[in-house]
Structure 1
Amino acid sequence: MGYRRAGEALPGGAARPQTKPFIIEGKPSGEPKLDTAKPSIWGRFDDDIAQAMENQRDKDHAAATGGDDHA
């Protein structure tokens, strides 16, 4: 039979038994989580403008309907 060199297959295609456990390590991805909201570069400025536009629209609607809420 003799000695075998490293990496040489065993007869019959049999593999050597595994001596070390097979471990898969999960690495964190560089992509942000979907549920995390990215803050605006404008800070609250865009929220303030949206609120001001909504207030102006309400005033314009009230002026157009005579001040009542029945359109």
Structure 2
Amino acid sequence: STRHGGIPDAVIHEKTGYLVEEGDDSAMGQYMIKLCENPERAKEMGLAGRKHMQEHYEHSDQISKLLELAKAAIDKKT
């Protein structure tokens, strides 16, 4: 993926995926070829990515965080 916005928080370069600068099509292509040539590495990274997302971006946890933000915003207005 690219180093844009919050993506680097979700994708850990060389552990859960590869990151390139926006617009760097050459680097993106090279990493795609690297993964195609090494399916075991692709599988390892995919599994690590899934684990990272489950540990840090679990849906119910994100909903709880949003709820707390909404409550805090309401409290500030009252």
**TM-score category of the 2 structures, normalised to the smaller one:** 0.3 to 0.5
Higher helix share: 2
Bigger-Rg structure (1/2) = 1
Length-normalised TM-score, structure 1: 0.35
Length-normalised TM-score, structure 2: 0.33
Q: Which has the higher contact order (CA 8 A, sep 6+)?
A: 2
